[in-house]
A and B are shown apart, each in its own frame.
Chain A
């Protein structure tokens, strides 16, 4: 996977920086993501992980550097253009169109997310409706399609965000803490969902604090601290890195994670 990433990166970030006045939230960050892989990003709170997603998705554009998706420079593109270029995103907070039904939520992605509509049609059309239903089915929430989003439980809302992201037919999916606040059984459900999304050919970047989730899904990992990359490599190499253990995981958590990884792999 690491070799592939170097050969044909789907997403390439070159010296990306994001400053809010004097505060640099992301500093001179360079990394590649290969087509079809899952890159896991971890790091302490305030490390700039979510800011990195804001920068890639265009909601808060980069102040320095370049972001290239599939050969196309998207650094200065508007959020909707980046969506049309093939980058979808889920949010740390459970974003959703709360007054609309689950199906309408996904329909937004299916209708508006794939390409720019110069003049919208009078009706959404059969193709968009079918794509929306397919995305709901893929995430296993087809039976909740007519429920109002604001009244759905947390897990369903997270799955709904993924469904509406998938409805945009993304090449790259940015997932910001997809299992924050979920129970162990719900985490397993999301893990299956992420694997299904990967199997559908979508490249994924994951941000997560739940390390057991992150190390099991990621092909490669990156740890950020103070807006900089302090580690990039295979999950198995993570615990050998002294800086990561000192700055982020701590000795106790590292030991527990090591025995967890040995058990699942062995």
Chain B
């Protein structure tokens, strides 16, 4: 129970600081970058459930994020679905796609899961980019998935109309609220029976099955649970940037998000969030370096994997232990 109380405390402190930020630092750049941080943090927190808690090396999370973003955009563009309905629908579609990917990975282990999921993401990317046939000619030639240019003009959640000059602050708070819900759900999952099943299957699948845990069922649960908010984050990304293009599949974004999880601490509750914050700041610092940015990211990742495999979160535990041994 003590650790649950600690989680609630950390969560509330972070939330209070985040609520106060736009008042303390009202600059537009800081606020829009923080909104982007919220979006990546949602993805990273959900990805951690698959990668860290369940030990399944799925690289499909960005493809799921893209699924959510594209589903939102296409629902709005082709069927004129209002965005407030399109985003949750996109979440459900992402769950379905996530479960399909989970099903495909059921018989694979370790690096093979990474290979298959990366291949799925790449195939999606290639299919979208190479499709040049006009699906509709309303407002110019437009392939089904928008091709290289992507999809735009699919609607908005209305905050731009409501707060014409301060809409980005409104989006900041929407992002924050989504992140708060996503983190709460991840904590409930990690601390509850689902997390118990995921961790048991990670530690020893055969033993877990002979203690009554169905691998088939809980692998689908893992992918379903982690897909929903990833899809919602994708939808929010779509309306925030007003355009969805194939850049969401980019390898550097994937690397960026994986680095957040690893540097923060794979499998821990707050590690991925911490890692996301640290990397967003580090990325700001490396912005001037343009192409060298990915190299810096890769180096940082390598150093952590070799020297601190438990990430910043593990560093914290190590500090506590060394302090305890000194006392």
Contact = CB atoms under 8 A, between A and B. Distances in A.
B209 A59 contact: yes
A164 interface: yes
Contacts of B210: 57-59, 79-80, 82-83, 88-89
Given A80-B212, A164-B211, A124 B188 contact: no
Given A95-B207, A99-B203, A109-B212, A122 B196 contact: no
Contacts of A58: 210
B193 A123 contact: yes
B211 A78 contact: no
Interface in B197-244: 197, 199-200, 202-204, 206-214, 221
A121 interface: yes
B148 interface: no
A108 to B, nearest CB: 5
Interface in A97-146: 97-100, 104, 107-109, 111-114, 116-117, 120-124
B206 A120 contact: no
Interface string A41-67: 000000000000000011100000000
A112 B214 CA distance: 9
A96 interface: yes
Interface residues of A, number: 36
Interface in A69-89: 78-80, 82-84, 88-89
A83 to B, nearest CB: 4
A100 B211 contact: no
B211 A112 contact: yes
B211 A108 contact: yes
Contacts, number: 92
Nearest to B215: A80
B214 to A, nearest CB: 5
Nearest to A125: B193
B277 interface: no
Given A98-B203, A99-B203, A120 B194 contact: yes
B197 A100 contact: no
Nearest to A97: B203
B192 interface: yes
A116 B203 CA distance: 21
A53 B196 CA distance: 26
Nearest to A53: B210
Which one of B194, B199, B202, B207 has the greatest number of beta carbons of chain A within 10 Å? B207
Contact of A123 (B192, B197, B202, B208): B192
A95 B192 contact: no
Smallest CB-CB A-B distances: 6 pairs: A113-B212, A97-B203, A112-B212, A79-B209, A95-B207, A83-B212
A12 interface: no
Contacts of A203: none
Contact of A97 (B192, B194, B200, B212): B200
B209 A80 contact: yes
Given A84-B212, A107-B196, A124-B196, A97 B204 contact: yes
B204 A113 contact: no
B212 A122 contact: no
B213 A108 contact: yes
A229 B326 CA distance: 60
Interface string B86-117: 00000000000000000000000000000000
A80 B213 contact: yes
A121 B212 contact: no
9 contacts: A58-B210, A99-B203, A100-B200, A112-B196, A120-B194, A120-B221, A123-B192, A164-B211, A168-B211
Contacts of B211: 83, 88, 108-109, 112-113, 164-165, 168
Contact of B188 (A107, A108, A122): A122
A91 interface: yes
A164 B207 CA distance: 10
Given A83-B210, A99-B202, A116-B212, 6 more contacts: A83-B211, A89-B210, A99-B203, A121-B192, A122-B193, A123-B192
